[in-house]
Amino acid sequence: MSLLDDTARVRDHLERHGRVSYRVLKREFGLDDDGLEDILEELVDIQGVAARGDKALSWTGGASPPADPAAPAREPRTYTPKHLADKILQSRAALEGERKQVTVLFCDIQRSMELARRLDAEEWHQVLDGYFECLAVAVHRYEGTINQYTGDGIMALFGAPIAHEDHARRACYAALEARAALAGYAEGLRLDRGIDLGVRMGLNSGEVVVGRIGDDLRMDYTAQGHTVGLAQRMEQLAGAGHICLGEATARLVEGFFEVRDLGLASPRGTAPVHVFELERANESRTRLDVARARGLTRFVGRADEQRALEAALARARAGHGQVVGVVGAAGLGKSRLCFEFVERCRAEGLTVTEAHCPAHGRNIPFLPILELLRSYFDVRGDDSPEQARRKVAGTLALLD
């Protein structure tokens, strides 16, 4: 029997069962290590219908395979929030299908089989329920969609079927938020039940083809090239509590996050790939913030606009509050004009409080108000709760 025949048989078997261990595949189809690796490369890298795990191969080709027996049964509508479901169904492009640039996120539990054997079925389901809840909240907050539950993990997409220019940033924010939530959840499990829950994540960005969406909102995605497979490999390379990024994702989020270059790594049976570790978000909120870190060009022109802003500032200093709107087409320099004006205000010793409204923040209640308060109290993203409390208390004390 030819390799193509073996590949087709393995694909059919995987589509029916959803997740199959490498040991079973070798015994069932009489494969040696080289033969298995050839089939894995075809299904994961070329056809994009499967994803590698430590011990098993998972179907990701959009069929709707049964989950790992240890995973709780879940209907699509139970993990797609209504506001997101409505947005998806209203998207004609999502319904008809098209090529999109997306970021893929994989997350799973390390040594999950050991935990599943140690706990009874009901307790393991309870652990997974809390774990999946932490992931779903973070993914949906940034308008990502959970494409697959894979037993002890998920595959989520950002940028499809709802297109987002900042899909890579959304995925990174979601990953960091999920990691923080899961750290708290894992600590509770450790204290209450003696369970050590280690979670790892991997992200990669690239092109996918968004297929038909049925009435039940179960989405069919087929990756072009090895986009999905490389995201899965990033997950395999991550340690517990860590988030690994492919080179494409690291390039898209440069300046917005602190990323550590881990160099080249060779996941099992693959060519070396460049790996980065996502550590934390930095204080940059806009492209201008990122450009500032690299160095801005000299600001020229806009004399009339500068005079208008200076006149509004003079009236405000005289006791007449002002609201100024800066309106113009994209790319005309609105952000740079505001930045230069704010820098002059700071140079004159004026207090400046800033807030931004990023696209991903529309699902976060009161985000502009929260940003204003953080700016006023000088609370930074990496401040501990105790540091934040001290800053708030110290600033309030100065108001007395």
Confidence of residue 71 (pLDDT cuts 50, 70, 90): very low
pLDDT of residue 75: 39
Write down the residue that tokens 């002059």 correspond to.
Answer: 344
pLDDT of residue 278: 96
Q: At what angle do helices 121-141 and 167-193 cross, to 10 degrees?
A: 150
Nearest to 103 by CA among 47, 177, 179, 159: 159
Mean pLDDT of the chain: 82
pLDDT of residue 187: 93
Task: Retrieve residue 165's tokens.
Answer: 């220019």
Per residue in 23-70, pLDDT (tens digit) is: 888 877 888 888 888 888 888 877 778 888 777 888 876 433 334 444
The three-point CA angle 37-42-47 to 5° equals: 150
pLDDT of residue 247: 95
Confidence of residue 228 (pLDDT cuts 50, 70, 90): confident
What is the average per-residue pLDDT within 205-227?
59
Percent of the chain with pLDDT over 90: 34
Q: What sign results for the dihedral spanned by CA atoms 304, 309, 312, 317? A: negative
Q: How far is CA 101 from CA 145, 162, 305, in A?
A: 14, 11, 38
The two beta strands, 199-213 and 243-246, are: parallel
pLDDT of residue 218: 47
What is the average per-residue pLDDT within 318-340?
89
Which position has the higher pLDDT, 270 or 65?
270
What is the average per-residue pLDDT within 199-226?
67
d(C-alpha 28, C-alpha 342), whole Å? 68
Q: How far is CA 295 from CA 255, 260, 292, in A?
A: 12, 22, 5
Q: What are the chain's domains? A: 60-281 (3.30.70.1230)
Residue-by-residue DSSP string for 31-80: --HHHHHHHHIIIIIIS--EEE-SSEEEE-SSS-PPPPTTSPP--HHHHS
d(C-alpha 326, C-alpha 337), whole Å? 9
d(C-alpha 52, C-alpha 35), whole Å? 15
The two beta strands, 219-223 and 145-149, are: unpaired
Q: Are 234 and 244 in contact (CB under 8 A)?
A: yes
CB atoms near residue 26 (< 10 Å): 14
Instruction: List, in sequence order, every residue forming a beta bridge with 51; answer none if it has no partner.
Output: 58
Q: Are 64 and 16 in contact (CB under 8 A)?
A: no
Judging by beta carbons within 10 Å of its beta carbon (0-12, 13-18, 19+), is residue 126 exposed, middle or buried? middle
- Residue 202 reports pLDDT greater than 90: yes
Per residue in 249-265, pLDDT (tens digit) is: 999 999 889 999 999 98
Residue 75 exposure: Cα atoms within 13 Å on the Cβ side: 4
Nearest to 228 by CA among 254, 213, 240, 246: 246
d(C-alpha 133, C-alpha 79), whole Å? 9
Per residue in 131-188, pLDDT (tens digit) is: 999 999 999 989 898 888 877 899 999 988 788 889 999 999 999 999 999 999 999 9
d(C-alpha 3, C-alpha 25), whole Å? 14
The two beta strands, 98-109 and 243-246, are: unpaired
Q: At what angle do helices 22-29 and 3-17 cross, to 10 degrees?
A: 130
Q: Are 322 and 343 in contact (CB under 8 A)?
A: no
Per residue in 361-379, pLDDT (tens digit) is: 776 778 888 888 988 898 8
Q: Are 208 and 94 in contact (CB under 8 A)?
A: no
Instruction: List, in sequence order, every residue forming a beta bridge with 59; answer none if it has no partner.
Output: 50
Confidence of residue 225 (pLDDT cuts 50, 70, 90): low
